[in-house]
Amino acid sequence: MRGRALNLLIVLAGLMGAAGVMLAAMGAHRGAAGTLPSAAYMLLFHAPVIFAAVLLQERGFVQPQLALIAAIGFVVGAGLFAADVTLRELAGHRLFPMAAPSGGVILIASWLALALAGLLASRTS
């Protein structure tokens, strides 16, 4: 199961990167006054971090369960934030109340989980 979960995270990170580029292009054509660049940046910043978390886990540099939780959190958090901001910009409504802030909190927690995964791995090695 672990291999499939990591492969799924790699696929999702690739899709996040592609979506981020598309949103950045849409934002550029619509003008920088909108919120699409924020959604694009959130996806583009976190897609490579997911790849890094997977690689760090596979190479044994971090505590694996926490790294997996962090990577999943990056997908969920960036997805919530970007989806909410994009829907508000393009459709005029939210994904659900507090979706973007919830995504942000999940991202902060994911960064902390990744840091803790590194700390725990360094203590056990």
Confidence band of 123 (pLDDT split at 50, 70, 90): low
Residue 28: what pLDDT?
86
pLDDT tens, position by position, 65-99: 999 999 999 999 999 999 999 999 999 999 999 99
Question: What global pTM score does this model have?
Answer: 0.92
Mean pLDDT of the chain: 92
Q: Could you give the angle at the alpha carbon of 97 between the alpha carbons of 94 and 98, nearest 5°?
A: 105
Domain that holds residue 21: 2-124
Residue 40: what pLDDT?
95
User: Exposed (0-12), middle (13-18) or buried (19+): which is 51, by Cβ within 10 Å?
Assistant: middle
Number of domains the chain contains:
1
